[in-house]
Each structure stands twice: as C-alpha cells, then as structure tokens.
Amino acid sequence: MASPATDAAAALLGALVEQGVRHVVLSPGSRSQALALVAAELESRGVLMLHVRLDERVAGFTALGIGRETRMPAVVVCTSGTAAANLLPAALEAHHAGVPLLLLTADRPPELRGVGANQTTRQPGMFAPSVRWEADLPVPEETDAEGAAEQSLMLREVAVQAVAAALGEGTRSSGPVHLNLPFREPLAGVLPSWLAVPVAELTVEQTPDPDAAPVEAEPIDDPSGALYQGGGGIGESDLPIEPEGRPHVLPRGPRTVVLAGADAGPSAEALAHAGGWPLIAEIVSGARFGRYLVHGYRELLAAPELGGRIERVVVLGHPTLSRETAALLSDPEVEIFALRGPGEPLNLNGATTPLDAVAVAVGEADREWLGAWMRASREASVDLSPAAPDADALASAIPSERLGAIAAELEAIRAPLDRATLVDAVWRATWPHDRLMFGSSRLVRVADAVLGGKKVPVHANRGLAGIDGTIATASGIALASQAGGRPGVTRVLLGDLAFLHDVGALLLAPGEREPRLQVIVGNDGGGTIFDGLEVARVASHEAMDRVLYTPHGVRLEELARAYGWEYARVSTRAELDQTLTSPVAGRQIVEVPLPR
C-alpha cells in the first residue's frame, strides 16, 4: 500500500542527499516512521550514514557534532511532542556557534493542534528565535507514482532552500533550520520505485575530508596586503575567501593584538603572522600555534605594561574562557574589529566594528611591541612534561647515587595527577589526525591557562558554553572524522558533572557504528568550577555543597560496564600516558580521580 507520508519523506530525504547531506541522526517514533524507513533504505543503498539514538537530546547533539566537524548540516529526525522540544539545547548551541543543522520534526496534522490530541503541541515556531529558516510544511495528501507530482517538486525545492539556509546563504551565518512535517495516517507504506533515481550515484565517501591539508591564507593581488576572513570551524576557517567589495585595510601604527576565540581556526595565526602582532589564542580556538603565540596571556593582559597598552584588537571566533579577554573586549577605549564568523556577532563594548574580511597594510611591523610580548611569553610558558631520568646517576657505581636516582624516578612515576598534568598529558597525546573535544568544565580553563602551542583540531561547545551534550557532540565528531576509514581518535576531556549530565549518550544500540572515542573524566566528586567564582567567598560550605557543588558518589566503572564501554582508572602520569598512547579500537572511559 502506498502512503502520501512515505512518498513525501522519499522526495525530501532524497533531495537532501542530492544537496550533499550525508548523515541522518534518528530517534524512533510513530509519527516519524515514514522518514525513518526512507532513511534506513537510503543507508542500505550506501548513500548516507544513519545513526539511531534513543534520546532526542543526544540525537540533536550528535548531529551538532557532525556539523561541527564537516561544516555540512546533518539531519536529525524525531517524532512529535516533547521529542521535538528535546532538540532545543542543540539548536541553541548551533545558533550561537554557527553550526549547520537540519531539524526534521514529525507532527500531527493542523486540525489536531490545540484540541487536546495526544502527543501534540504547537511545534511551528518552537525554534523561531534560533533558526536561519523554518517551514511548517503542508500535510502530504496524495501518493506520487512517478516522483514528479507537485508535492514532490515542492519538497525538493524545500530541501534546496533548507541546506542553503543552514549553510548561511543570505544570512552570512550558518546555523539550524527547522522543517516541521505534519503527517496523517497511513504513516508508512511501500517505498516508491523512483526513490533510487536522484541518489543512485552518490556515496558517503564524497563527504569533504576534514583531514585534508589546510589552505593557508595568502596575500592576494591587492596593494593593501593579505586578506583574511572570519572563522568557520575545521576545514573552513583557514580558507581565504573573496568577499563582496573591498576588505577593510588595517593600517600599521596602533598597538594591536589578534584574539582567537572558539572556532577561530588557523586564519587567526596567519593574520597575526602577516601583521607581526601578538596572538592570544584560547585553547578551543584551533589557532594555538605559531611563532607569535602568547603563553600565559591572562597575566600579560592584566599587566599595565602590556595589556594596558593595547590600542587595537582584531577578533576571530568567540572568546569566552577568561575574564581578562572579556574586560579587554568591553573596554570602550580600545578599538575592536570582529571578523564575522558563522556564529553570533561580537560586540561587548557596544562599539565593535564588524568586518567580513580584513587586509594587513604593507609596511614594517612594530618590532618593539611584538618583542615585548614575546619576551614576556617566554617567561610565562611552563613545561609540564615529566623530567627525564638521570641516566648517569642510574648507572652510577656509587650505591647512594644509584639508589637516590631510583627513588626519585619511582617518586615521579607514582606522583598523583592534578588538573594541570592531566590536561598536559591529553594535549601531548593528541595529533593532527585526532580530534580533541573540551567540555565546559573546570578543566578547559586549566588547559587554557597552561598548555602550549600545537596545531591540532579542537572542538568545544562554546556558543552557549553549556555542559549538556558534550559526549554526544564528541560522538558526532568522531563518526564524521572517521568516516571512510580515516585514522585518528576523538578524545573528550570533561569533568564528572558534565559527564553525568550526558550519560545517556553512552548508549549505543547493537549494529550502530562504533566510533574510536576516549572520554576522559576528571572526577573531583562535584562542581569545583564554582571555587573560582565570587560565591565561594560568601556562601557557607553547606550551602555550596547543597546547591552548587552537587557532590555525588557515582561509580563510573559500573556505568561503563552497564553501557558496554571499556574502562580504565588511572591515578598517575605514567598510567595516563600509557592509556592515552595505547591503541583505541572503540569506546573507552578513562577516569582520573582529582583532589577537591
């Protein structure tokens, strides 16, 4: 038996694949069954990758992770009612971070809205403040024997418009798109014979390769110098793109720093290099590398002889990790230029100049200014790697020297981990073919404060900096980055509360693709990130425990076993290094106990 719902689902999903969509994340439900069955068929034909998740919030963040990694929207499909509402956190993060995402929410027909019908709410407009485009589509009324009915043609046009809007066409900013799809019964039928026609020659291997060598921003044929644009994540932010009109030319003269926030990408480093300007790069920026990188930037920004003399800031990405950068960007006396990226515009001081592209004027760099920052940076840098063994003492014929060296080596091996050595070990174990995801926990701020430069792909949900969806997002990143047999491990570094908040993302049904994913949990038994806030100086210990720290006694090993994950508990640097450098075949939880 044919079904209008099935024919409509075939037309829409087939057209989305034609537009380059390669991933569908699905949560099961009755009203969305036509979409689910068509997606399963397209997966069986090898034209897309289907990922099934029980929890819609997990599904939304998994699709977000795929979009973060590929810069192409993944489709997330759900049924009606609260299922659709569970996509809101991922949609908000996608909006603020500028991540392409397609939300397909099945719905009851319009006559059942507002009359007390089961599992029915007003879904149109549910995501309105956050989406780049939305449409409450008409109910499919007729079957389509040839694939050329007016309904199918309309849905193919909708698919084209949805992908374009998710990629930022007409808005300068990629982000989420919502298509609300009301269906009447019968909710599923036989698949139309024409389903294979528009997608027969497409394969998932055509997904853009995020491991491809980045294209460095280079000077264009322009007397003003080099052209750079705002960030866009892995595989996009480092691409020089010809803008509409002329770029803004930054003259030489003002004491300038380049500030790279979340998702700034390699363009920030290239711009700093071209201008001869200090580079202040957050650990989540993807720009923490290069000869002009500033170490220990928080203290240096607070220093009157350096941060106090800044006259101009060029911002790429979304800075969120330190009060010092927030204060700098809020200073009305500092000239601030913010390159437009895919996310929300930046304007903390009310007078920031937004730019689509910027060029560096030809001329000599201010060597005195740059030199002062580089000297201070060298003094502020720290080396957290374990000290090398004293080979001479270990081989000494003098027993006291040899025994002393052995004792020192054993002490170093047995030394407990702290937050700084934890983030250092993870950073050192991660390479360009890997991916590193930071949760919005205390650890990302420690990493931002102490880690040196390294050109590795970094992700973090810093659009709204929430703790939700961290594991699910990392799962999406892993699935996308490892598609087609590509190498690498995705590591996610987060605190215990962020881990527990997204524990549902640990569930993976039999038959689902298993990513190479290490979830490294710094477990201090509660939300000690509040130790650094003003409340810790005024609230009682009892009140802090009750309403902020929220201590717990969860046994992570038993959680790992219940969900089918490998588990390791490490308490020393030597154990952690061994765990991080051992081959990872699937999903692994690494618990690192930390002091309160």
Task: Render each residue's pLDDT in the chain as its tens digit; 596 residues.
Answer: 889 999 999 999 999 999 999 999 999 999 999 999 999 999 999 999 999 999 999 999 999 999 999 999 999 999 999 999 999 999 999 999 999 999 999 999 999 888 999 999 999 999 999 999 999 999 999 999 999 999 999 999 999 999 999 999 987 799 999 999 999 999 999 999 998 644 444 444 433 333 333 323 333 333 334 455 554 443 333 333 334 557 899 999 999 999 999 999 999 999 999 999 999 999 999 999 999 999 999 999 999 999 999 999 999 999 999 999 999 999 999 999 999 888 889 999 999 999 999 999 999 999 999 999 999 999 999 888 777 777 777 778 888 877 787 777 777 777 889 999 999 999 999 999 999 999 999 999 999 999 999 999 999 999 999 999 999 999 999 999 999 999 999 999 999 999 999 999 999 999 999 999 999 999 998 777 777 677 777 888 888 888 888 888 899 999 999 999 999 999 999 999 999 999 999 999 999 999 87
Q: Does 218 reside within a domain?
A: no
Please give the tally of structural domains in the chain: 4
Q: Does 425 reside within a domain?
A: yes
- Asked if 88 and 162 touch (Cβ cutoff 8 Å), the reply is no
Give me the pLDDT at residue 199, please. Answer: 42
Contacts for 368-375 with beta carbons within 8 Å, 24 or more apart?
A: 369/255, 369/256, 369/277, 369/278, 370/276, 370/277, 370/278, 370/292, 372/305, 372/306, 373/257, 373/278, 373/292, 373/294, 373/300, 373/306, 374/278, 374/292, 374/294
Q: Does 216 reside within a domain?
A: no
Give me the pLDDT at residue 246, please. Answer: 75
- Asked if 329 and 346 touch (Cβ cutoff 8 Å), the reply is yes
On whether both 313 and 454 belong to a single domain, the answer is no
Q: Where among 202, 236, 257 does a domain terminate?
A: 202
DSSP string, 536-550: GGTS-HHHHIIIII-
On whether both 461 and 561 belong to a single domain, the answer is yes
> What b-and-e string marks burial along 404-415, b requiring 16 or more CB atoms within 10 Å of the CB?
ebeeebeeeeee
On whether both 398 and 420 belong to a single domain, the answer is no
490-495 and 23-26 as β-strands: parallel, antiparallel, unpaired?
unpaired
The greatest distance separating any two alpha carbons of the chain, rounded to the nearest whole angstrom, comes to 92
On whether both 326 and 421 belong to a single domain, the answer is no
Give me the pLDDT at residue 15, please. Answer: 97
On whether both 424 and 409 belong to a single domain, the answer is no
On whether both 310 and 398 belong to a single domain, the answer is no
- Please tell me the distance from the alpha carbon of residue 227 to that of residue 433, in angstroms, as a whole number: 28
For CA atoms 371, 375, 376, 381, the dihedral sign is: positive
On whether both 302 and 363 belong to a single domain, the answer is yes
- Please tell me the distance from the alpha carbon of residue 237 to that of residue 95, in angstroms, as a whole number: 17
Amino acid at 520: I
Residue with tokens 């154990």: 575
- Rounded to a whole number of angstroms, the distance between the first and last alpha carbons of the chain is 63
Q: Does 349 reside within a domain?
A: yes
Q: Which residue segment(s) compose the domain that 396 sits in? A: 384-414
- Please tell me the distance from the alpha carbon of residue 561 to that of residue 576, in angstroms, as a whole number: 20
CATH at 140: 3.40.50.970
Nearest Cα neighbor of 139 from 177, 103, 180 is 180
Give me the pLDDT at residue 26, please. Answer: 98
- Please tell me the distance from the alpha carbon of residue 70 to that of residue 497, in angstroms, as a whole number: 28
